[in-house]
Amino acid sequence: MTSLTSVIARDRQLTIVGVVGFAAMMAVGAQIAIPIPGTPVPFTLQPLAVVLAGLCLGPAAGAASMVLYLLVGALGAPVFSPIGAPGALRLIGPTGGYLLAAPAAAAIAGLVARRFPAFGGRILAAFLGIATLYLGGVAQLELLTGSLERAAAMGTVPFILADLGKVVVAAIVSPNRAHHLRD
């Protein structure tokens, strides 16, 4: 094997490990689910896992890790939050919009971090990733409640302060380069 071939093979292996690892991190983050009065959406650490996947793996591999998580959960593995319907039914429930937005959120966080890898860029990347989750979540809640105002109140207001904290944590713990792994 040539040196270049070895590097490419190693990068591919690291990317696969990263994709599986962030899917697992998403599953662990889902298990820390705290019910919030007035909303069917619990507090979890999943938004942090989503944006970290994008910041650390880059847009394609970050999105792939979220797709892997969704596929495993939809097939019935107990990786979704313990609050809510099992398997694929979770994707059409109150938290389904957030879950379905996770690949796009990771990709957006990864793209922005790639373009602006300094701390301020990573803050922006994580913020835009979580905003993408909010868009998906509120859209689904609107379909279920019939009211955009009610959906926004249930799907964003209780979470804003905690999620701003997750933005800062993600920016601090993510690499100060666009990403370590190629995609």
- What pLDDT score does 8 carry? 72
Query: Would you say residue 67 lies in a domain?
Result: yes
pLDDT tens digits for 36-49?
A: 999 999 999 999 99
Q: What is the pLDDT of residues 64-110, one digit of tens each?
A: 999 999 999 999 999 999 988 899 999 999 999 999 999 999 999 99
Q: Is residue 33 part of a domain?
A: yes
CA 54 distance to own-chain centroid: 8
- Is 183 a member of any domain? no
Q: Residue type at 54?
A: G
Return the pLDDT at 157.
95
181 occurs within a structural domain: no
Structure-token pair, residue 85: 């319907």
CATH of the domain at 24: 1.10.1760.20
Residue 101 maps to a domain = yes
Kindly state the tokens that stand for 12.
């591919």
Number of domains in the chain: 1
pLDDT of amino acid 182:
46
How many angstroms separate the Cα of 136 from the Cα of each of 20, 47, 121, 130, 173?
23, 12, 23, 10, 25
CB 48 within 8 A of CB 166: yes
Q: Is the pLDDT of residue 179 over 80?
A: no
Look at residue 179 and tell me if it is in a domain: no
Other CB atoms within 10 Å distance of the CB of residue 47? 26
- Cβ-proximal residues to 170 (8 Å cutoff; 6+ apart), any chain: 48, 51, 52, 55, 109, 122, 126
Is 72 part of a structural domain of the chain?
Answer: yes
pLDDT of residue 178: 45
> pLDDT at position 3, please?
73
Q: Which stretches of the chain are DSSP H helices?
A: 3-31, 46-57, 59-74, 96-115, 119-145, 148-155, 160-173
The whole domain housing 10 covers 3-173
CA atoms within 13 A on the CB side of 72: 17
Quick one: pLDDT band at residue 176, thresholds 50, 70, 90?
confident
What is the pLDDT averaged over residues 176-180?
56
Kindly report, residue by residue over 113-152, the tens digit of the pLDDT.
999 999 999 999 999 999 999 999 999 999 999 999 999 9
In a domain, 131, yes or no: yes
Under a CB-based contact definition with an 8 Å cutoff, are residues 62 and 110 in contact? yes
User: What digits encode the pLDDT tens for the residues 49-63?
Assistant: 999 999 999 999 999
